[in-house]
Amino acid sequence: MRQLLETLIPEHWEPASKKSEGGRGIGSPTGPGYNRVRFLQGISDLFNRPVLNRLNASTNATAVNANGAVQSTGVGVEPMQPKRYAEFTVKARITFNVNSAGPAFHYIYRTLGAIPALGAAPNVGDIIVGGDAFLGGPTVNGVNQAGAFSFLDTGLDVSKLYRYYLAVKAPNGTVLNLVNSSQLLVMERS
């Protein structure tokens, strides 16, 4: 595990002459340096959280045989638990093309269950992050288009594990391709 601050112990804050105060050792929860060390370890955790609680998923070539409804791409991150503020920063950068001139829409979903397989509908109860499609509209047959998304997903439960995944909606009978290292990044920010 990478540390941005050194690990602190009570001896860093108390002189050697105060190693024992009334029978309480420095490392004791009632010892003289305990609260200061706890405070500074909290600061260390605040700096480390974005580094330690971060996952991403990417794809170079994912083809979705569209059926006109919202479908999972199968591209998503493993379960993550918010630790500090009950929120995640969710980012995506996608490049796609579709073999039609019809509209194509892109979503990020949050789930407490498994990520639906490629082409499957979102799970019942899955939530669209941001409330709607983050990219969409008319397309040109076979021409790459790109979009980006950044959202602070708040109000999460710190006792639950969340997964995030990319989903699309395109005209029935078309093929939508995610290309060029399209990716999804989810991280806990400080």
Mean pLDDT for 87-112 is 96
Q: Which pLDDT belongs to residue 52?
A: 65
pLDDT at residue 83, as a whole number: 81
Q: What is this structure's pTM?
A: 0.77
If you ran DSSP here, which 8-state letter would residue 171 be given? -
Q: Determine contact, residues 80/162, Cβ cutoff 8 Å.
A: yes
Residues of the chain with CATH 2.60.120: 55-187
pLDDT above 50 (res 1):
no
| Residue 35 banded pLDDT, cuts 50, 70, 90 | confident
What percentage of the chain exceeds 70 in pLDDT?
76
* C-alpha span between 70 and 167 (Å, rounded): 7
Distance CA 99, CA 173 (A): 9
Compare 51 and 187 and report the one with higher pLDDT: 187
pLDDT tens track for 74-84: 999 999 999 87
Classified as helix, coil or strand, 39 is helix
Distance CA 103, CA 136 (A): 7
Q: Per-residue pLDDT tens for 148-177?
A: 999 999 999 999 999 999 999 999 999 999
Q: Which residues contact 122 (CB under 8 A, 6 or more apart)?
A: 70, 72, 109, 111, 116, 167
Nearest Cα neighbor of 140 from 102, 170, 168, 180 is: 102
Both tokens of residue 171? Answer: 């005209």
User: Do 190 and 50 form a contact (C-beta atoms < 8 A)?
Assistant: yes
Class of domain 55-187: mainly beta
Quick one: pLDDT at residue 49? Answer: 59
